[in-house]
């Protein structure tokens, strides 16, 4: 994915965790089998915006109910972090992934604001008592996490959902940043990120122009009420994420930031990514 450098404004300096966390056993060891409630996966069809979007639940072994992480993908979603979902499941958490409307086979038109509604629809789906029971989900222990644009989705949705147990932002891109950019710049961004999306470059560029109010800054008051893990990489987006961390700390937020010397998709640090996420999840209040 091409990263728009508008998000990398003046560099901000915050303390980041430099020492690598010890790798948990769940990263490299399968858990004991449970004959009565084995690890499983279940295809989901989640109502949102008048259609049913596609999802997949990675169910942890054991009767549960299990805490659950919902993972939101970036733009256009070539990297879906399914290895992270598997590691989360091995650690005893469920993981739920999904495709926004108009992306990767989910019906309907793709839109940025629609992505926010889709994430909220997924949360409502897993919190529904019947679905939670079937999927062995503890509805009171749900974390929302996302990569790149999914980090922006997470910031906006988690910032207005205090019932969540936490939020994870992975190389997050603040989509409010390019809102004021010239049309040519917005079109270039759209044309570079259209794989498997039911939209047009012109439509995407117009939508981006309306995302100014949907910023990390606007989400900060709500995010400060949750535990937050911010993971940054060498993709030009770290300064903006660091600015969000400073904002959250100034509001008394419970936030941890970790920087890794890798690219936007963490291609050279997949084990590091899994380690940081699984370790942080294990430290959350029960």
Q: Where are the domains of the chain?
A: 28-282
Q: Are 157 and 83 in contact (CB under 8 A)?
A: no
Alpha-carbon distance 75 to 71, whole Å? 13
Alpha-carbon distance 206 to 134, whole Å? 40
- β-strand partners of 232: 259
Return the number of other C-beta atoms located less than 10 Å from residue 195's C-beta. Answer: 12
Q: Locate 34 and state its tokens.
A: 């449970």
Q: Are 1 and 74 in contact (CB under 8 A)?
A: yes
Alpha-carbon distance 57 to 12, whole Å? 37
Q: Locate 226 and state its tokens.
A: 């949750």
> pLDDT averaged over the chain?
94
**What's the confidence (pLDDT) of residue 19?**
52
pLDDT at 9 over 50: no
Q: Locate 281 and state its tokens.
A: 């999840």
Nearest to 60 by CA among 42, 79, 76: 42
Alpha-carbon distance 276 to 16, whole Å? 13
- pLDDT tens per residue, range 210-234: 999 999 999 999 999 999 999 999 9
pLDDT at 16 over 50: no
CATH tag, 28-282: 3.40.50.1820
**What's the confidence (pLDDT) of residue 183?**
97
- pLDDT tens per residue, range 66-103: 999 999 999 999 999 999 999 999 999 999 999 999 99
């Amino acid at each position: 994915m091409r990263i728009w450098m508008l998000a990398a404004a003046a560099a901000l300096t915050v303390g980041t965790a430099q020492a690598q966390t010890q790798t948990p056993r769940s990263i490299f060891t399968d858990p004991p089998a449970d004959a009565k409630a084995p690890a499983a996966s279940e295809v989901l069809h989640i109502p949102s915006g008048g259609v049913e979007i596609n999802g997949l639940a990675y169910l942890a072994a054991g009767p549960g109910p299990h805490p659950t992480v919902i993972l939101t993908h970036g733009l256009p979603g070539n990297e879906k972090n399914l290895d992270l979902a598997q590691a989360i499941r091995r650690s005893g958490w469920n993981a739920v992934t999904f495709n926004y409307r108009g992306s990767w086979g989910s019906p309907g038109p793709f839109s940025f604001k629609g992505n926010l509604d889709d994430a909220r629809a997924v949360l409502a789906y897993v919190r529904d008592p019947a679905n939670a029971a079937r999927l062995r989900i503890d509805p009171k222990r749900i974390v929302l996490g996302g990569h790149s644009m999914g980090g922006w989705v997470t910031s906006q949705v988690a910032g207005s959902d205090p019932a969540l147990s936490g939020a994870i932002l992975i190389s997050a891109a603040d989509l409010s940043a390019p809102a004021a950019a010239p049309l040519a710049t917005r079109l270039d961004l759209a044309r570079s990120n259209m794989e498997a999306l039911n939209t047009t470059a012109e439509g995407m560029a117009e939508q981006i122009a309306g995302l100014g109010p949907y910023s990390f800054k606007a989400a900060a008051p709500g995010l400060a009420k949750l535990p937050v893990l911010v993971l940054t990489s060498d993709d030009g987006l770290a300064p903006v994420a660091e600015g969000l961390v400073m904002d959250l700390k100034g509001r008394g937020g419970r936030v941890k930031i970790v920087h890794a010397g890798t690219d936007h998709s963490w291609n050279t640090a997949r084990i590091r990514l899994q380690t940081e996420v699984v370790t942080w999840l294990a430290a959350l209040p029960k």
